[in-house]
């Protein structure tokens, strides 16, 4: 800050720059833009009537409790629900191993607070989720890139050299943001074994795990890790299975970690909304998700197929893309000499938006020919129109 400014920000705050995605998303709120940039779930999948009913029942029957301060750990029955929901494959999770948080993004911030000192080594997939990089960066870590290929994170990349002294590894094994890739069971097993041997916790971020619409479900790192003696911190959210505007998620981890996170959460925001926690529990307590999720999966599967079909029709040879088995995103690669940032500038002139790959790379090793496409927010017709325009622009540049 210059000497005229009547305040001095922390060095942390001075380092934050408005993210590339944030700037793009500002443009994409204009209604004429066909945006494949955002990560907004389709509102068609929100169970509006059921949530309306749930808020009403909670405020009618337990209004004074629902509007009062609550425990920092979260609403007891919801913690129990999460514990039960995550207890499978011979692994039992206790409610004491569950902390309710204000969305997965808050979990990421709190993990930064818990684990990262300035210069702490943190292993991240290359590329990785931009929102996580933003949260962790507040605490000034030293990122180490774990390379990925078509099968996602390459476990042998977690070498004893890279792992030595690392505070944790951050991984998204299911339909990764940004690539849409999924780790197979063998890679998962090798990953948790390597982390157990190296004594580093695995943060398993799993916002999309329930949104699988193709292929075979894979065991979670949480379960494999418990059996292999690895410390796994599992992050889940109600944003994709119910609705993101509720801002609720959860952390499953050993009690020594949960207990410390509870102290951190108390200093961060006391606790997450009582009424929202109670309404979510009311909505899902009688197996509502079992009825609801097939609808969401079917919706997302259709949306994904619209985009894959349009890309097959309109994208020229030399462009590659992933075929996700779930989630919201796919990842395209232009021929290596091309730059997705330049493509974006032209695309926005034609009212189409996406996110170039560069900000997803933590360590400056970006592949500038890559970009992320979200297929869940835009209608079939607009997907076809937008992809056709991108195809045309790519051809012009090749």
The CA distance from 134 to 108, in Å, is 9
Report the candidate in 298, 280, 376 with the shortest Cα–Cα distance to residue 66: 280
Q: In this structure, how many other beta carbons lie within 10 angstroms of the beta carbon of residue 321? A: 19
| Residues in CB range of 369: below 8 A, 6 or more apart | 333, 334, 335, 336, 337, 338, 339, 340, 357
Interface with a copy of itself, residue 168, by CB under 8 A:
yes
Site for a copy of itself in 112-151 (CB under 8 A): 113-117, 120, 131, 134-135, 137-139
Task: Say whether the peptide bond before residue 40 is cis (omega within 30 degrees of 0).
Answer: no
Q: How far is the CB of 259 from a copy of itself (least distance, A)?
A: 9
Beta-bridge partners for 145: 124
CA distance 366 to 36: 20
Shortest gap between Cβ of 43 and a copy of itself (angstroms)? 4
Work out how close the CB of 124 gets to a copy of itself at its nearest, in angstroms, rounded to a whole number: 15
Of 173 and 249, CB closest to a copy of itself: 249
Candidates 10, 160, 216, 286; binder of a copy of itself (CB under 8 A) is 10
Give the CA distances from residue 378 to residues 135, 157, 306, 383, in Å, rounded to whole numbers and listed in that order: 28, 37, 10, 6
- CB 111, CB 203: distance < 8 Å: yes
Question: Does residue 382 bind a copy of itself (CB under 8 A)?
Answer: no
Question: In sequence order, what are the beta bridge partners of 355?
Answer: 372
Q: Is 337 in the site for a copy of itself (CB under 8 A)?
A: no
User: 2, 31, 32, 69: which one contacts a copy of itself (CB under 8 A)?
Assistant: 69
Instruction: Name residues contacting a copy of itself, limited to 28-57 (CB under 8 A).
Output: 40-41, 43, 46, 48-49, 51-52, 55-56
Q: Which stretch binds a copy of itself (CB under 8 A): 6-14, 299-307, 331-339, 380-388?
A: 6-14
Please, which residue, 199 or 291, has the CB nearer to a copy of itself? 199
Spatial distance between the Cα atoms of 192 and 221, rounded to a whole number of angstroms: 7
| 102 interacts with a copy of itself by CB under 8 A | yes
Number of amino acids touching a copy of itself (CB under 8 A):
81
Residues from 169 through 228 that contact a copy of itself (CB under 8 A): 196, 199-201
First to last CA, the chain: 44
Query: Which is nearer to a copy of itself, 62 or 392 (by Cβ)?
Result: 62
Residue 299 binds a copy of itself, judged by CB under 8 A: no
Please, which residue, 5 or 216, has the CB nearer to a copy of itself? 5
282 is an interface residue for a copy of itself by CB under 8 A: no
The DSSP bridge partners found for residue 35 are 353
Task: Tell me if 322 contacts a copy of itself by CB under 8 A.
Answer: no
Tell me the closest approach of the beta carbon of residue 4 to a copy of itself, in angstroms.
9
**200 with 167: CB under 8 angstroms?**
yes
């Amino acid at each position: 800050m210059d000497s005229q400014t009547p305040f001095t920000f922390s060095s942390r705050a001075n380092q934050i720059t408005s993210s590339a995605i944030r700037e793009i998303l500002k443009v994409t709120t204009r209604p004429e833009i066909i945006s494949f940039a955002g990560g907004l779930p389709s509102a068609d999948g929100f169970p509006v009537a059921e949530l309306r009913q749930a808020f009403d029942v909670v405020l009618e029957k337990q209004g004074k409790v629902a509007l009062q301060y609550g425990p920092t750990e979260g609403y007891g029955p919801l913690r129990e629900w999460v514990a039960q929901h995550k207890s499978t494959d011979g692994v039992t999770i206790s409610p004491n191993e569950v902390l309710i948080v204000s969305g997965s993004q808050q979990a990421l911030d709190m993990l930064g607070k818990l684990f990262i000192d300035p210069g702490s080594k943190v292993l991240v997939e290359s590329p990785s989720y931009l929102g996580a990089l933003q949260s962790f960066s507040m605490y000034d870590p030293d990122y180490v890139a774990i390379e990925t290929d078509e099968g996602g994170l390459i476990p042998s990349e977690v070498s004893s050299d890279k792992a030595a002294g690392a505070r944790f590894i951050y991984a998204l094994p299911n339909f990764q943001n940004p690539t849409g890739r999924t780790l197979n069971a063998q890679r998962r097993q090798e990953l948790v074994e390597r982390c157990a041997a190296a004594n580093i916790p695995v943060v398993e971020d799993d916002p999309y795990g329930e949104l699988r619409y193709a292929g075979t479900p894979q065991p979670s790192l949480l379960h494999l890790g418990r059996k292999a003696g690895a410390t796994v911190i599992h992050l889940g959210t109600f944003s994709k299975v119910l609705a993101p505007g509720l801002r609720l998620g959860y952390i499953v981890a050993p009690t020594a970690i949960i207990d410390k996170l509870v102290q951190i959460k108390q200093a961060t925001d006391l606790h997450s909304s009582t009424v929202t926690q109670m309404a979510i529990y009311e909505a899902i307590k009688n197996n509502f998700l079992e009825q609801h999720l097939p609808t969401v999966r079917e919706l997302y599967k259709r949306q994904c197929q619209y985009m894959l079909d349009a890309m097959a029709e309109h994208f020229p040879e030399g462009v590659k893309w992933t075929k996700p088995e779930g989630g919201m995103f796919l990842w395209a690669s232009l021929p290596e000499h091309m730059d997705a940032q330049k493509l974006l500038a032209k695309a926005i002139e034609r009212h189409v938006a996406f996110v170039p790959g560069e900000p997803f790379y933590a360590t400056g090793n970006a592949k500038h020919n890559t970009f992320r496409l979200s297929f869940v927010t835009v209608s079939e017709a607009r997907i076809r129109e937008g992809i056709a325009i991108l195809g045309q622009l790519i051809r012009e540049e090749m």
